[in-house]
Amino acid sequence: MPENKTSFDNRVVVITGAARGIGAATARLISSRGGKVFALDIAKEGLASLQAELNLPADQVIPLDLGNQNSVKETIDAIYAKAGRIDALINTAGVVGPTNVKVEDVQWADFENTLRINLFGTVWLTQAVIPYMKKAKYGRIAHVASIAGKEGNPGMTPYNVSKSGMIGFVKGVSKELAADGITINSLAPAVIRTPMNADTSDETLKYMISRIPMGRVGEAEEVAELLAFMGSEACSFTTGFTFDATGGRATY
């Protein structure tokens, strides 16, 4: 394995949400550091353009609905069968769910869908990779949560619950895996410039930025740097932790 612990030479890295935004930026960065990236997303068009950009073999670009438990397991099993190892899982896929809806008005189907993709998807992916990582006595798992999971955004209850669920999930699981060479962490960004925010009103953006001491939104490439660390051999003594990417908003 590489001398440089941040290198991904000979490493197999599964990245969800890779079609755009933070996931695509992470796929670019990890590819540039030598990783064999398996790019997963529900959005086939975005996957196709990433494949062209990074010159990925067709079998490393896999359409997947994270909200389907069987598909998640089948996809991870197929990647392991093909690649013979899974060194890192970086899960960036996610949906915002209802916004500007008071909790008593949230439709249950919307609540369930947000949890299914963000939280259950996180659990299913983790369950699927753990046996392979345990066998290898090595693994890195990184899930993208949100500042919303630490502080809560009004009118976004399903999203808040899904993201705080992710943060709680990694805390307990990290202790189960601590002696197996596997670290599992989450990451809580504040507002990041990605397609997810393309429709956010100027007023809301201004409010969000006003809470960030650096006075600007974050860039997907900045988040990718943290995820690359969390997914690398270098992240060897930190587990169960929620990394921060908020420009100074959250210092806890």
Ligand X SMILES: NC(=O)c1ccc[n+]([C@@H]2O[C@H](COP(=O)([O-])OP(=O)(O)OC[C@H]3O[C@@H](n4cnc5c(N)ncnc54)[C@H](O)[C@@H]3O)[C@@H](O)[C@H]2O)c1
For the annotated catalytic residues, the residue numbers are 159
Task: Write out the DSSP string of 130-196.
Answer: HHHHHHHT-EEEEEE--THHHH--TTBHHHHHHHHHHHHHHHHHHHHHGGGTEEEEEEEE--EESGG
Q: Which stretch binds ligand X (CB under 6 A): 36-44, 50-58, 127-135, 229-237?
A: 36-44
Asked whether position 247 contacts ligand X by CB under 6 A, the answer is: no
Torsion, Cα 151 164 160 18, to 10 degrees, reads 110
d(CA 43, CA 161): 24
d(CA 183, CA 235): 8
Applying the rule CB under 6 A, the residues between 70 and 109 that interact with ligand X are 92-95
CB of residue 195 to ligand X, shortest distance in Å: 4
- Of 22 and 89, CB closest to ligand X: 22
- Of 43 and 123, CB closest to ligand X: 43
Among 117, 130, 184, 228, which residue sits at the site for ligand X (rule: CB under 6 A)?
117
Per the CB < 8 A criterion, the answer to whether 157 and 175 are in contact is no
Asked whether position 15 contacts ligand X by CB under 6 A, the answer is: no
Tell me phi and psi for residue 42, to 5 degrees: -80, -20
Asked whether position 42 contacts ligand X by CB under 6 A, the answer is: yes
Torsion, Cα 99 117 142 244, to 10 degrees, reads 10
- Going residue by residue from 132 to 171, which x/- string records binding to ligand X, judged by CB under 6 A? ------------x-x-------------------------
Please list the helix, strand and coil fractions of the chain in percent, rounded to the nearest 5, in that order: 50, 15, 35
Q: Which stretch binds ligand X (CB under 6 A): 41-49, 80-88, 129-137, 175-183?
A: 41-49
CB of residue 50 to ligand X, shortest distance in Å: 10
Asked whether position 191 contacts ligand X by CB under 6 A, the answer is: yes
- Going residue by residue from 201 to 230, which x/- string records binding to ligand X, judged by CB under 6 A? ------------------------------
Q: Is the dihedral of CA 163, 165, 168, 174 positive or negative?
A: negative
Which stretches of the chain bind ligand X, using CB under 6 A?
16-17, 19-23, 41-43, 46, 64-67, 92-95, 117, 144, 146, 189, 191-192, 194-197
